[in-house]
Structure 1
């Protein structure tokens, strides 16, 4: 693929995107205005972001078009998305966005239980391009975080309109965020705690001129959280600038899964894991409790045959659905089995559903990146 994949920045064309048109694009619109405002003073909002484990009304997915960054791999990526959609449809309603010219192919692949909407998209990562739903005083509302291609790193002409399009079609009130973010950058426990990486949010490619305090104040206002645990993350090594959903996830009350890279993995990810663990061991949640941290070992690419440099073998990118938890399966039987068992133990009462996602993983993403939940009213 010629695009910047999610796990590592391809040098070809990256400098031009980050130094030229990409940053110019992200310096316009609502996010640029946010960069000039003093938002460090706390402002209480009337919204609350439910935990992913709360009941869902539906899950959204996006069908990667053939005229996309996936190029000749589009059919393989579509096969992975169809597998996720079919697995989810056994547990809750599923709505998939697809270009008008690809509706028939999507219906054929996903089956009659999946609703298909004629909405053009650039890519499949709807966790980031789609709206982030919150509970408001008047019912369900949703935040438009102004998706800008992860800081101008990828073309996003269609995906920039996805959040607004979904909300208009489903008649959900739209909240205009005063910063730029992606859904994969936000991990909440549903009790007032937000976990995030500085590298993906306190970054000039999303929020020029905004301090960490300013970003935190707006996130507290929008998501209804009172405690933000910041991890440094890693800048410029993957297209997301290290989203939190590749690193850490809240599970049972007061417990947190931390993705542990293999010993023979790249040093940058090992250091990020070690630094994050030290911070989390000292952190407390919104209720003042110390978190219990549980390591979730990643798959070892050396035991999986040939894998590209962008391959993401992190099981932390699972998805919690109604009555189920969808866990990636990479092909290492022992590793897959151990991860599914651990995730299942920490999400009691839910069926563990392993899903193979070979092309999505090669693209540096996972099941969580490819889904976005709409909470039940």
Structure 2
């Protein structure tokens, strides 16, 4: 949820910040690109062939990551953040290929720190958030394609001269078909079960900084077309208090169809806007069914107890939910609270049987408001 210094400001949970509009946001697809078509009827031959986003636990061809480039973003923390990214890349590379994008003048340093297990390619980036800046992949009868969600710096909050072109440039590099979305958003703003259900927060989609004047219904229709889903479960989220406007991948995740892992505050955490967002999401999930009519089982993933760590800073993202599922493993953050770390590892092991749970320390990344999932993007097997 990439909390910002504005977190102390008074802000109610978002209650539908969009309004009806005639035209969807985002640039129009060009004739040379594949624009998403209207969703075919479920169960039809066309539906079976249409592109869809596989669940994260399905096999991956590779993981993409990005090398943080800018002193203006990280200041004197840039070396520590790069060390964290190298540790995450090495952990993922034990289980599947990792491709790290780096500016040409920084790629040699990235190779030295990441080691030979990580492939580094020359591709201009501004920051490390590959989940949001890179393409979000779908698969179908025509193979793998990448959805370009028109990254705009989370609504113009951060420089994105290069990051705004990462999806296009990466797909061009690999010769992968590009689908330009008719809406603007980020990969961390969606979560799918691979069987027709998607979760999202209104605060990061129905928001004037991404999709001005576009209604939730129009955005939902675009998400269904882009990612091959039949149902969207919406949470309110929180607008304006972190750089992402409360991405769903720090709030609720699918562990399997019908099972949702939910970030929960610790028992001694004073109520705040983030705990209220979690409570609202819990209320939604208790009354929701997925695209196949299943009621949802909700599993709590409680945040670590970091009351004794004031050195971590006000923007620190203290959630285990920003883990990443790879081929044969789950890469999770380790925060140094031994009891909480062990408890979270046990929950993730139970939810992902047969996968090794690999804790990685990411204090520098988390101090910038992000996590492991934010810094990775899977290319699913075709």
Give 2:171's aligned residue: 167
Which residue, out of 96, 116, 121, partners 2:120?
Answer: 116
After superposition, what is the alpha-carbon deviation per residue over 1:310-367, rounded to whole angstroms, capped at 9, x for unaligned? 1111000000000000010001000000001101110111000000001001111100
After superposition, what is the alpha-carbon deviation per residue over 1:195-215, rounded to whole angstroms, capped at 9, x for unaligned? 000000011110112100000
Q: Structure 2: how far apart are the matches of 1:52 and 1:213? A: 26
Give SS of 2:86's match: helix
Q: Please, which runs of 5 or more residues in structure 2 have no aligned partner? A: 8-23, 30-36, 41-46
Deviation at 1:252, TM superposition (A): 2.9
Give 1:77's aligned residue: 81
Q: Structure 2: how far apart are the matches of 1:133 and 1:285? A: 22
Q: Structure 2: how far apart are the matches of 1:303 and 1:285? A: 40
Contact 2:316 2:368 in 1 (8 A): yes
Q: Please, which runs of 5 or more residues in structure 1 have no aligned partner? A: 12-28, 35-40
**Residues paired across the two proteins, number:** 350
State yes or no: 1:7 paired with 2:18: no
Deviation at 1:33, TM superposition (A): 5.7
Give SS of 2:277's match: helix
After superposition, what is the alpha-carbon deviation per residue over 1:90-136, rounded to whole angstroms, capped at 9, x for unaligned? 10000001111111111111111111011121110110000000012
Give SS of 2:164's match: helix
Q: Structure 2: how far apart are the matches of 1:339 and 1:130? A: 28
Q: Structure 2: how far apart are the matches of 1:355 and 1:164? A: 30
Deviation at 1:265, TM superposition (A): 4.5
Judged with a 3 Å threshold, the aligned counterparts in structure 2 of structure 1 residues 132 and 70 are, in CA distance, closer, same or farther, namely same
Give the alignment of 1:80-229 within 5 angstroms: 80-229=84-233
Give the alignment of 1:1-377 within 5 angstroms: 6-10=2-6, 31=26, 43-44=39-40, 46-262=50-266, 263-265=268-270, 267-377=272-382
TM-score of the superposition, structure 2-length normalised? 0.88
Q: Structure 2: how far apart are the matches of 1:261 and 1:33? A: 41
Judged with a 3 Å threshold, the aligned counterparts in structure 2 of structure 1 residues 306 and 9 are, in CA distance, closer, same or farther, namely closer
Contact 2:135 2:146 in 1 (8 A): yes
Give 1:15's aligned residue: none
Give SS of 1:123's match: coil
Q: Structure 2: how far apart are the matches of 1:329 and 1:218? A: 36
Give 1:38's aligned residue: none
Deviation at 1:187, TM superposition (A): 0.2
After superposition, what is the alpha-carbon deviation per residue over 1:113-169, rounded to whole angstroms, capped at 9, x for unaligned? 111011121110110000000012211011000000001111100000100011001
TM-score of the superposition, structure 1-length normalised? 0.90
Deviation at 1:253, TM superposition (A): 3.1
Q: Structure 1: how far apart are the matches of 2:310 and 2:340? A: 14
Deviation at 1:67, TM superposition (A): 3.7
Q: Structure 1: how far apart are the matches of 2:210 and 2:5? A: 17
Q: Structure 1: how far apart are the matches of 2:135 and 2:27? A: 19
After superposition, what is the alpha-carbon deviation per residue over 1:164-223, rounded to whole angstroms, capped at 9, x for unaligned? 011001110000110001000000000000000000001111011210000000000010
Judged with a 3 Å threshold, the aligned counterparts in structure 2 of structure 1 residues 33 and 175 are, in CA distance, closer, same or farther, namely closer
